[in-house]
Every structure is written in structure tokens, then in C-alpha cells.
Structure 1
């Protein structure tokens, strides 16, 4: 069960995500979800010196440090793309309001916007390691490919490099391991989804956010096993999983 826990969690999150998209408090729920996903990929060791050097280059070009930081985050630390973004119409001064458009953080979720699949939502939240991007692009890899590799490999530069080296078929196998749920036609999926405890849990915003945090930080599972709601649900899922994966056959004595 622990081996496939990531796929189980991904499945639960993806379904809960869809159910909560039109929740009355969806705006708040998905702001928290965005914070969880962004924070899990943005670590203290995210090479602040690299940030500083990139920001200084943009500041020397006449942009403010705040705008430089925002543009770098939006372009996933692609310096050239950040320069183009800062030079565009979106970043021109709003003389009437005396501010710039980017002073207000733009969240991904919009109550009046189109539905965004969970994989795309997670992709937009991801904050890549800027130094790792520099190393990988200097090795000749495409900037966007480097970002995808880092996202799949949890910002691990060495694993991302190995991922980029293998052929496309192997890449698909690796990415499916980390970013794919259970087969919706499988008996395990059907049994889990038919469980009333799971059904109620997937409509609960608190449980959705906990599952999201657990998916991004698997080592925290021991903390949530003691949670009265999440722990009991995971126990039920574990039992269902094992019953479907390793069915017990009763042999007739006749």
C-alpha cells in the first residue's frame, strides 16, 4: 500500500479538487491549496544568492526589486522571459492609481474563470530551484523541459538530470509514477470510491487540504494517521486496497 500511496492520494485529491471547485468557499480553499503547493516546492535552500543575482541584473536595467522578483517567479526564473515580461504593457505604470498591476498577487483560481485541471493547477503553483534551472540549461536542456523535470523530481537537480537524459518512453513511465492516479477502471478504484466514508471525506475542504499537504510531503503521514478524520479514512482505504489487491480465496472441500 505504501508503494502505491502516491497514486491513491493523487486520485483522492483529483476527485476532491473537482468536487470543491464550485464550493461556496472555493476561493479561500484554493488560495490555501496554492500556498501549500508553492511552499512545498519553495525551500529555504532555494539558493537565495541566485535570486539575488538575477534581481540585481533587472534592477540595473531600471526595474524595482519587487517587480523583478515577481517577474522571475512568474517566468520560473527565466531571466530573458522576465525581462520581456517587465517590458510589456502589463507592467506599465498606472498613473491614475499610482501603482502597478503586479502589486496585487494574482491567484490561479477564479470564481468566474474556467475550470483548471488539477495537474495544470499544480504545475502553475510549482516554484523551481533557480540554480538547478541554470545548471540544467547550461548543460543544453530546454528551459521548460528542465522545469518539468524538476517538478516531477521534487526539485532534485541530479534526478532531474537523469530524467532528461532517458528516452521519452522512460520519461512517461517516471512521470506516471509521480503524477498519475489509480486506473479508474480498476477494482481498487471502484471499491474506494464506493466507500461512504471516502465519499464524505472528499467533500470536506479540510481533508482536501490535508491530503494535498500529505501528497507533497509524504514523510508527514505519521502525523495525520492520528487525525480522527483523515487517519480513519486512510485506514479504510488501506483495508480496501489490500482486500482488492490480495483477495482471499476460499477453497471448497468438495
Structure 2
């Protein structure tokens, strides 16, 4: 029997696992004396299904040993590359070399550099010898005002108008007594029951929780922080000013003037005029007292703990109280105000809007606002929002004061846009 020489002296047959980047896998049988180039050719024939029409296909691929991540040298044999049975090889396409830039691309880039806009220094250097002109030209600035900032000024002026309108009403005293009674009722009903329940469930006494909520505008988080900070404060259970203040007693009405005798008409007229003057004076005094009481109930009460903390930083007591008033008792914001430009100032809080401005005139000419200004509850709402801006939402949702606030907001937005 005749056996070919190469079969007798052939090396050991290995089975290697070949993979491609496209996910194709197969087993390739190869002897130890086979060169890597021959192995790659066999792999490519399998990969392209037996056809190597493009001669570049062979040179554009390479074999990589997966375990060691090294590229196999094509002139070496399988044994020289130390391949083992069941090793895994990767057949991948070589990355083409980067093409050199074309002359057209180079010239285009040079033109871009030449056409590049000059920087500020180059402009100043080129225009240094030119004379200046139009230096006093006015630049138009569009100042979009913030509604919340302007609302306070609007409220200050509207409160003055509402007080004057209500004072002219023949039933002014009764109206303001109702407003005062509404104020007392509002103070009692102001506490949010859900917020109060959350604090009492945490173990805080109800009276302290009520005080904390009123001081912190019904915010549970801020009220809880206040209660924790003041747990050792001996004044923590002291009621807020105005809560236990008795109501203003109604002024005693002067006795009616006696009917004039027919023989004393002149003296009777004088007595009647004197009686009316006394009555008007009594009404004004009573209105003044009611106004004072409303103002006293809305009086700013600084957080004692925040006052102490800020004074310990070296600030004067008056400065600290002003800072807390401007920033609604928020200690961090008050500290930033004290360290900054201190805007707005406490005096700015009491300034009203320009009564001759188109905005204020448009507000006063609105029928809904005019009708609302004759309602003492509107005055109460304005006073409350002036001292507690966070309560604006409550009055916006009120059926009596909500339409007035809506009209003010609409007028402001319309004029601000134009």
C-alpha cells in the first residue's frame, strides 16, 4: 500500500475554534506545521463560502489569539505560535490606514483661518485712531417687574383707599366692628387641622403647636423646627400678642338732643349741630381704635430665637428685627440680607405705589375692585397679605376677596406686557 510522504511525516492535528466579528463560529482542523497564512486562507474560504475573488481579502484580514489578545504572525507555523487544541481565534478585518489629507481640504482649512473673525483686542487696535461718536445714545432697557414685589406696594395704597371709603359709609362703625369680629374669627380658625394633628401626634402640646403654626404660616416643617429650637425657652408657652386682648368696647352713643321749643329755634339748631359733631367725633374715635386693633393684630412679631442667634453674630437688635421683618422671620434669609446690600429696606415695605401711575388708576377704575373696596373683608385680606405674603393663596380662593385679587393680577400682567 502506497502512502504519501507528507501524510507519514505530518504534524499533530489540532481543532481550533474560529469566530468572526459578525458572530459566525466554526471548528477548523489544522496541523502543527501549517503556517498562520495558510490557516487564515482556509478560514476565509469558509467565511466567504469557498471563494476568494478579491485578492485583497487575504491581506485585509488577520487572526488574533483570543486568550492572549495577540496578533498571530503569518510567516510562523501553528506550533511556533504555540497554539493548542481547542484554542479560540478571532478572524477580523484590518483597520484601513487613514487617508492623507487632500490638497483641496488643506487649502479650504487655510482659507477658514484667514477668514476667521477678529477678536476684541484686534478690533480695538484697528479702531484706536477713530473718533468716538453717539456716546450719549440711550439704551432701551426692558424692565419686567415682578408681581409679588409690586403687589405689596399695591396693597399698601389700596388699604388707604379702602379705609377712606369705608369711613365715609354711614354704617362705618358697624362695618368695622364686623371686620374686627371677622378678624377674631379668622385668628381662631387660622390653624390648619391636618398640620396641627401631625404636630400633636409627634408629641408636641397642642397650645405650643398652634403657636408654632401661626408663627410659621402653617408650615409643618418650619413649625416643627421652631418647637425643637424653643423646647427650653421659658417663654415658649406665652400666648401671642393680641390673642387674649379683649374687644374694643362700643362707644356709648350720646343722648339724643331734646326737641327744640318753638321759641328757641336758633339755640335748638346749635344744639343739634353740636350733637351731630359729637356723634361724628365719637365715630371717628371708635374707628381709630378699631383700626389700631386691626394693625396691632397684624403687627410683626420677630422670632426670639432668631433674634438671639443673629445678635450673637454681632448685629444690632434693630437691624436684626428689620432683617427678620423683610424676610418673614426666615433666619438664613435675614442673615444674607444683613450681609448683603439690604434690599428691600424696611421703609420700602411701607411704601405704596404711585397713585398717579397707569397701573393704580386702572385698578381703581375696575368695577370689581371698586365693589370689593367697600367690603371690610377685603380690607382684612389686604392687611393679612401685607404681613403674611404666604396667605395670598387663601384669599385668592375666598369667594369674596378672590375676584378682587384676580382682577388686580390680570391688570398688572396686561400693563406689564405692554
In the superposition, the TM-score normalised over structure 1's length comes to 0.58
| Contact 1:153 1:159 (C-alpha < 8 Å) held by counterparts | yes
Inter-partner Cα distance in structure 2 for 1:178 and 1:189: 17
- Which residue number corresponds to residue 313 of structure 2? 139
Structure 2 CA distance for partners of 1:30 and 1:153, relative to 1, 3 Å: farther
RMSD: 4.3
Deviation at 1:216, TM superposition (A): 4.7
**In the alignment, what sits opposite 2:47?**
none
Correspondence for 2:329 among 148, 152, 155: 155
State whether structure 2 residue 245 is matched by structure 1 residue 105.
yes
Greater relative contact order (Cα 8 A, min sep 6): structure 1 or 2?
1
Q: Distance in 2 between matches of 1:139 and 1:8?
A: 35
Q: Say whether the 8 Å CA contact 2:354–2:360 is kept in structure 1.
A: yes
Aligned mate of 1:42, from 215, 218, 242 = 215
Q: Which residue of 2 aligns with 1:12?
A: 158
Q: TM-score, normalised by structure 2?
A: 0.39
CA distance in 2, matches of 1:171, 1:245: 26
The structure with the largest helix share of the pair is 1
How far apart are the structure 1 equivalents of 2:317 and 2:247? Answer: 24
Secondary structure of the 1:144 match is: helix
233-242 or 196-205: bigger deviation: 233-242
SS where residue 336 of structure 2 aligns? helix
Q: Is the 8 A contact 1:40 1:216 kept in 2?
A: no
Deviation for aligned residue 1:130:
1.2
- Deviation, structure 1 residue 190: 1.4
Judged with a 3 Å threshold, the aligned counterparts in structure 2 of structure 1 residues 201 and 215 are, in CA distance, closer, same or farther, namely same
Aligned length: 203
C-alpha distance 187-109 of structure 1, shift in aligned 2 (>3 A) = farther
Corresponding residue for 2:179?
Answer: 29
Q: Secondary structure at the match of 1:173?
A: coil
- Cα 1:31/1:54, change in 2 over 3 Å: farther
Higher strand share: 2
Gaps of 5+ in 1: 57-64, 75-101, 248-254
Please list, as runs of the form range in 1=range in 2, the aligned pairs for 1:230-241 lying within 5 A after superposition. 230-241=401-412
User: Any unmatched runs of 5+ in structure 2?
Assistant: 1-145, 191-210, 217-222, 251-284
Q: Secondary structure at the match of 2:174?
A: coil
Change (3 A) 1:52 1:210: same
Instruction: Tell which structure's C-alpha radius of gyration is larger.
Output: 2
Map residues 107-186 of structure 1 onto 2, 5 A cutoff.
112=286, 114=288, 121=295, 125-166=299-340, 170-171=341-342, 173-175=344-346, 178-186=349-357
Per-residue CA deviation, residues 131-165 of structure 1 (Å, 9 max, x unaligned), is: 10110121222223322221111001111122223
- 1:54 — aligned with what? 234
